[in-house]
Amino acid sequence: MVVIIRCRIFSLPVCYPKNLKIKIYRTVILPVFLYGCETWPLILRDERRLRVFDNRVLRRIFGPKRDEVTGEWRKLHNEELNDLYRSPNIVRVIISRRMRWAGHVARMGERRVVYRVVVGKREGKRPLGRPTRRWENNIKMNLQEVECGVWTGSSWHRIGTGGGHL
């Protein structure tokens, strides 16, 4: 899927204006790329790969920049891309969507399958080694980043039901 998206955005003619390329990126590429991101248990490697993809597409849209001192063409730096694009980076978008989905899940009744899967505990033995990062762990880390305190157990769903505020 990423290969198809990469080929399409990289094959856009140079003659298209930048604002049209940005509209195509926002309306076609990002929704397809971020479909289902609310349930992704992201690790740092995945976040880095997402940022690389995002910056690569933006570099292709904005093109190279001519250096004022040497007069040579160069790639845009990440900070310059952020200034030009003026939109939250892709990881922030995923975090906000994940938090919104956590609120929906927290408000679901206990009979709903999604609620039981998220809040319930697995039975049986855990495999050896480091535990894999779960969706609930990401939610807890995101809540700590926005300074909602330390949440233990499955009490993170208090925010979704009105017991806490963001």
pLDDT tens digits, residue range 103-151? 888 888 888 888 877 777 778 888 888 887 778 888 888 888 776 654 4
User: In a 10 Å sphere around its CB, with 0-12 CB exposed, 13-18 middle and 19+ buried, how is residue 1 labelled?
Assistant: exposed
pLDDT at residue 125 in the model: 85
Task: Give the global pTM.
Answer: 0.71
Coil, helix or strand at residue 76: coil
- What does the mean pLDDT of the chain come to? 80
Q: What is the pLDDT of residues 48-89, one digit of tens each?
A: 999 999 999 999 998 888 888 888 998 888 888 888 888 888
Contact present, 135 and 142 (Cβ < 8 Å): no
pLDDT over threshold 70, residue 165:
no
Pairing verdict, β 65-66 and 73-74: antiparallel
What spatial distance separates the first Cα and last Cα of the chain, rounded to whole Å? 35
What ranges make up the beta strands (E) of 23-74?
Answer: 65-66, 73-74
